[in-house]
Structure 1
Amino acid sequence: MTFPTFTSTQTDPHARGKELGTHRRKQITGNLAGYTDLFETAGATPAQVRVWGERALDRCAGWAPRLAEEITGIAAGAGLEPWQVAVVNARTEILAAIDATGEGECSTSVVLPGGGLPPRTVQTWDWHDHLRDAPMLWELEPAPGHVVRTFTEAGALAKIGINTAGLGIHFNILRHDTDTADVGVPVHLIARRILDEAATVEEAADIARSATVSASTVITVVTGSEAASIEISPAGVAVVPPGPDGVLLHCNHFLDPALAVGERHATERPGTYIRHRHLRDNVEGLSGEDLTGRALTMLSHGPDDAPVCAHPDLSQPLNQRWETLATIGLDLPARRMRVHQGGPCQVTEATWQVF
């Protein structure tokens, strides 16, 4: 099984968005419906969600007008209001506003082997199982000759991805004491601007610092020769480099000592520490050249071991059910991603989708 793909032919932001919205209307409206159910289950009212969506779009228009135009274009193509597409892009911010909690989420490994060899990366992407049809792969050209390829959710402008400047990103959610309901720039749009504009870790960090946010996340940036986890929260932005061994591992807790003082996710659901320890204990396998081998090294199921590969407990409400929906590696030399639909326990050489 593979994720649906779409290649934009339009270069104007509004036209590009409208083209995507037209061709992926069913998937985008379905994704919005799934998030509407999630927010309602977590305690938000429709009126609150609309206000948050409108605020997110306004913040986007002030920080990245071209991305706001693209959101408006997607809405036009999909037959939605712009604030509704903004809701999909601001789902992290809305969940922070609701103060939603949950055990699942993603694990990321980056190893810089040195000696001129390319980085070895792999990530699991965990999310709610009722949204398993949301992911898609999208290729676009935000500037002449600059191509972006992203694994994202239908209607969201970016998530995990790579560009033809040779920069790629992984993406994990975080939670911080300073997260607020005063919705700021959506972190998914920070990821998109990094893919659109950055070729170095420093450029990516500068983009992150320029945004006023209300929710936390970490964007792990990788190029052919460098990597860093850019931890983003309302309390500030921190750049966490690899260790002396070239290893950079991230789950869902802050690594920067100053930001870690306000840690929320791990204080309520400490499984992130267990997953991080599993990665650290298996660095040798995560350092291998073969992506299938790296993905299988990730493999670990709860409750007895670190739940890096998540499967939903169907007895739980939908906002407490988690599934590893994708396993992803970045191929920096080829400027491509390799994507597997599902968790590491289902990975074989034949299941990778090259994008």
Structure 2
Amino acid sequence: MSGFDPQRTDIATHVSAELDPAERGRAFGRANRTELHAAFARYTTLFEALGGKTGLIAEWGERALAETAAWAPALAEEIAGMADGAGLDRWRLGALNGRTEVLAALAVTGEGECSTAVVLPRTGAPRTVQTWDWHDTFRDGMLLWSLEQGSGRRVHTFTEFGVVGKIGVTSTGLGVHFNVLRHASDHTGIGVPVHVVARRILDEADTVRDAVDLARSARLSASSVITVITFDGERAEAAGLELSPAGVAELPLDEDRVLVHTNHFLDPKLAEGEGTTAAVSSTYDRLPGLRDRIGAVDTADRTARARALHSHRDGGVPICAHADHALPAHLRWESLATISLDLGAGRLYAHEGGPCRVEQDGWQAAPPEPQGEIA
């Protein structure tokens, strides 16, 4: 069932009860046919603006799906099912899931996306928050998706229509945040999509070590950082996994039990191949800005945690981004959503817009909660 309405300002929702991946995908595709066609149309416009021709995008989409089939067969079945249910060529869903790989193959540079902060208090559940920054023309593509696994595990993800996963949390107490990176080793030989890696971690990993092992088993052609957090009700762990074709680095918590990340590599070895510069990205300003706000992020109140990231370019640290409409659409960036994970309850909370728009009653939960229950 889909809660999408293009006139609404909140985030669309979908709940999948199907246990078979192919049937889950087909049911999703049938329920969200219009949204999936619109999602591919938006990405077609973006790819074309960045120099991607239809034939080349089709080839890369097919490769992304083939790489997924070899590394995560169940997710390839789910993606193919989405395409079939929506009446789309399967390569188009391959390109949606491989959108980071396509953009890396097109050698895209630019502002980048997302700022993540995680604090593990000495007692109690982890405290997490991130912005999801993307082109403002993609606002209608956001989705909160909850699904059941045959094992009884439930996965909840903030993602985009047609993309199997991004930021998420499981009923077993594992969560992931997600930021894009760019590396000199990124290449055109399309590998396993990083969004597929994030989803498989949500589907299968129980520990940070499980997530590291899964990430290192994938042949990658593009870069991202997946921040993995676990909580068993008493003990919490976290690590930042910097993914690149040159390797996967594991970033530990600092001495204050904090992890922050923006859009450049922090591992010293991988940083030698950094593909982002201060000339095109605010990432180098945003990272110390996040660190400066950790005291305010370290609170059980998710609204206060999100508001701690309320900082604009005119204040020197553009953590909360707003589109410059003097620029063409493919060069505009905006904080389209703010997300926080509740690992103790196995819930994901998302708020439409950046930190400056966050209000106590504006959060949406995955899985959905009855109106009035979000605190």
Instruction: Indicate the TM-score class for this superposition, using the shorter chain for normalisation.
Output: over 0.9
| DSSP-derived class of the 1:73 partner | helix
With normalisation by structure 1, the TM-score equals 0.98
Distance in structure 2 (CA, Å) of the matches to 1:2 and 1:314? 22
Question: 1:137 matched to which residue of 2?
Answer: 144
Residue identity opposite 1:293 in structure 2: A
Q: Which among 3, 21, 28 is matched to residue 36 of structure 2?
A: 28
Distance in structure 1 (CA, Å) of the matches to 2:277 and 2:157? 28
Q: Which among 178, 184, 189 is matched to residue 182 of structure 1?
A: 189
Q: Which among 308, 330, 351 is matched to residue 319 of structure 2?
A: 308
Distance in structure 2 (CA, Å) of the matches to 1:279 and 1:66? 37
Kept after mapping to 2: 8 A contact 1:167/1:332: yes
Distance in structure 2 (CA, Å) of the matches to 1:333 and 1:67? 27
Q: What displacement does 1:2 show?
A: 2.4
Distance in structure 1 (CA, Å) of the matches to 2:51 and 2:327? 16
Cα deviation digits, residues 270-305 of structure 1 (max 9, x gap): 410100011111111011221111111101111442
Question: 2:23 matched to which residue of 1?
Answer: 15
Check if 1:83 corresponds to 2:94.
no
Check if 1:191 corresponds to 2:202.
no
Question: 2:4 matched to which residue of 1?
Answer: none
Check if 1:272 corresponds to 2:270.
no
Matches within 5 A, 1:274-353: 274-353=285-364
Residue identity opposite 2:255 in structure 1: P
Distance in structure 2 (CA, Å) of the matches to 1:112 and 1:19? 38
Cα deviation digits, residues 204-250 of structure 1 (max 9, x gap): 01110010000000000011210111000000001101101101000
Q: What displacement does 1:268 show?
A: 4.5
Distance in structure 2 (CA, Å) of the matches to 1:316 and 1:59? 35
| DSSP-derived class of the 1:218 partner | strand
| DSSP-derived class of the 2:313 partner | coil
Q: Where in structure 1 do 4 or more consecutive aligned residues deviate above 2 Å?
A: 266-270
Residue identity opposite 1:73 in structure 2: G
Distance in structure 1 (CA, Å) of the matches to 2:365 and 2:73? 32
Kept after mapping to 2: 8 A contact 1:104/1:310: no
Matches within 5 A, 1:202-281: 202-224=209-231, 225-266=236-277, 268-281=279-292
Q: What displacement does 1:348 show?
A: 1.0
Question: 2:5 matched to which residue of 1?
Answer: none
Cα deviation digits, residues 280-337 of structure 1 (max 9, x gap): 1111101122111111110111144211111111111111001111100000110001
Question: 1:120 matched to which residue of 2?
Answer: 127
Question: 2:163 matched to which residue of 1?
Answer: 156
| DSSP-derived class of the 2:240 partner | strand
Aligned residue pairs total 354
Cα deviation digits, residues 116-175 of structure 1 (max 9, x gap): 211110000000111110011111113321110001100100000001110000000000
Distance in structure 2 (CA, Å) of the matches to 1:47 and 1:303? 42
Kept after mapping to 2: 8 A contact 1:110/1:249: yes
Unaligned runs of 5+ in 2: 1-8, 367-375
Residue identity opposite 1:176 in structure 2: H
Distance in structure 1 (CA, Å) of the matches to 2:187 and 2:112? 21
Residue identity opposite 2:200 in structure 1: R
Distance in structure 1 (CA, Å) of the matches to 2:280 and 2:208? 30
Residue identity opposite 2:217 in structure 1: S
Q: What displacement does 1:4 show?
A: 1.3
Q: Which among 108, 111, 120 is matched to residue 103 of structure 1?
A: 111
| DSSP-derived class of the 2:169 partner | strand
Residue identity opposite 1:119 in structure 2: P
Inter-CA distance 303–41: structure 2 relative to 1 (3 Å threshold): farther
Distance in structure 2 (CA, Å) of the matches to 1:144 and 1:176? 37
Inter-CA distance 267–307: structure 2 relative to 1 (3 Å threshold): closer
| DSSP-derived class of the 1:259 partner | helix
Distance in structure 2 (CA, Å) of the matches to 1:200 and 1:67? 20
Distance in structure 2 (CA, Å) of the matches to 1:38 and 1:306? 27
Moved more, 11-20 or 310-319: 310-319
| DSSP-derived class of the 2:18 partner | coil
Inter-CA distance 52–351: structure 2 relative to 1 (3 Å threshold): same
With normalisation by structure 2, the TM-score equals 0.93
Distance in structure 2 (CA, Å) of the matches to 1:270 and 1:354? 31
| DSSP-derived class of the 2:320 partner | coil
Kept after mapping to 2: 8 A contact 1:102/1:319: no
Residue identity opposite 2:343 in structure 1: L
Cα deviation digits, residues 36-79 of structure 1 (max 9, x gap): 00000011111110010011111111111111111110001111
Distance in structure 2 (CA, Å) of the matches to 1:266 and 1:289? 35
Distance in structure 1 (CA, Å) of the matches to 2:150 and 2:240? 26
